[in-house]
Structure 1
Amino acid sequence: MNIDVFNGDADGICSLLQWRLAYPVDSVLVTGVKRDIGLLSRVSAQPDDQLTVLDVSLDKNRDALRVLLEKGVRIFYIDHHFSGEIPNHPGLTARIDTGANVCTSLLMDAYLGRRFTAWAVTGAFGDNLDDAAYQAAKALNLSAQELLQLKQLGVCINYNAYGSCVADLYFAPDVLYRHLGGYTSPIDFMTDKADVYQQLLSGYAEDMDLARQVSATHQTDSIAVYILPDEKWARRVNGVWGNELANRHPDKAHAILSSNQKGGYQVSVRAPLNNKTGADELCVLFSGGGRKAAAGINHLEYDQLTKFIEIFQSRYQ
Structure 2
Amino acid sequence: MMKCIDVFNGDADGICALHQLRLHEPQLEARLISGVKRDSALLAQISDAQDSRITVLDISLDKNRVALEQLLAAGNLVFYADHHHAGEVPVSERLTVHLDLEPLICTSLIVNRLLKDKHAAWAAVGAFGDNLDEAACQLAHRLGLKGLEQLRETGILLNYNGYGDTVDDLFFHPVALYLHVQAYTDPLEFHADSKFLQTLREGYKGDMDNALSLLPLYEDRGGRVLQLPAESWARRVSGVCANTLARQRPTLAHALLTENRDSTLRISVRAPLHNRNGADVLCRQFPSGGGRAAAAGINALPADQLDEFIRAFSCQFGRLFF
What are the residue-to-residue correspondences of 1:202-217 with 2, within 5 Å? 202-217=202-217
Aligned to 1:65: 68
What are the residue-to-residue correspondences of 1:36-115 with 2, within 5 Å? 36-115=39-118
Amino acid at match of 1:261: R
What are the residue-to-residue correspondences of 1:219-258 with 2, within 5 Å? 219-258=219-258
Give TM-score scaled by structure 1 length: 0.97
The answer to whether 1:19 aligns with 2:21 is yes
CA distance in 1: counterparts of 2:274 and 2:116, whole angstroms: 30
The structural deviation recorded for 1:45 is 4.9
What are the residue-to-residue correspondences of 1:98-137 with 2, within 5 Å? 98-137=101-140
Aligned to 1:304: 305
Amino acid at match of 1:2: C
> Residue deviations 1:250-283, cap 9 Å, x none?
1111000001122210000000001111100111
Contact in 1 for aligned 2:121/2:145 (Cα 8 Å): no
The answer to whether 1:30 aligns with 2:33 is yes
CA distance in 2: counterparts of 1:253 and 1:46, whole angstroms: 41
Structure 2 spans left out of the alignment, 5+ residues: none
Amino acid at match of 1:212: L
Contact in 2 for aligned 1:255/1:267 (Cα 8 Å): yes
Q: How many residues align?
A: 314
Aligned to 1:163: 164
Structure 1 spans left out of the alignment, 5+ residues: none
Aligned to 2:7: 5
Amino acid at match of 1:221: R
SS in 2 for 1:183: coil
CA distance in 1: counterparts of 2:308 and 2:186, whole angstroms: 46
CA distance in 2: counterparts of 1:303 and 1:142, whole angstroms: 49
The structural deviation recorded for 1:24 is 0.4
The structural deviation recorded for 1:315 is 0.7
Amino acid at match of 2:8: F
Contact in 2 for aligned 1:45/1:73 (Cα 8 Å): no
The structural deviation recorded for 1:44 is 4.9
The structural deviation recorded for 1:8 is 0.1
CA distance in 2: counterparts of 1:260 and 1:68, whole angstroms: 32
Contact in 2 for aligned 1:279/1:290 (Cα 8 Å): yes
SS in 2 for 1:182: coil
Contact in 2 for aligned 1:7/1:55 (Cα 8 Å): yes
CA distance in 2: counterparts of 1:179 and 1:139, whole angstroms: 28
The structural deviation recorded for 1:130 is 0.5
SS in 1 for 2:59: coil
Give TM-score scaled by structure 2 length: 0.96
Aligned to 1:187: 188
Contact in 2 for aligned 1:58/1:83 (Cα 8 Å): yes
CA distance in 2: counterparts of 1:64 and 1:13, whole angstroms: 22
Amino acid at match of 1:97: D
> Residue deviations 1:107-141, cap 9 Å, x none?
00000111000000000000000000000111442
CA distance in 1: counterparts of 2:47 and 2:187, whole angstroms: 32
Contact in 1 for aligned 2:77/2:94 (Cα 8 Å): yes
> Residue deviations 1:195-222, cap 9 Å, x none?
2111011111111011111110100110
> Residue deviations 1:19-76, cap 9 Å, x none?
1001101200110001000000001554331000000000000000000000001000
Amino acid at match of 2:214: V
CA distance in 2: counterparts of 1:81 and 1:251, whole angstroms: 23
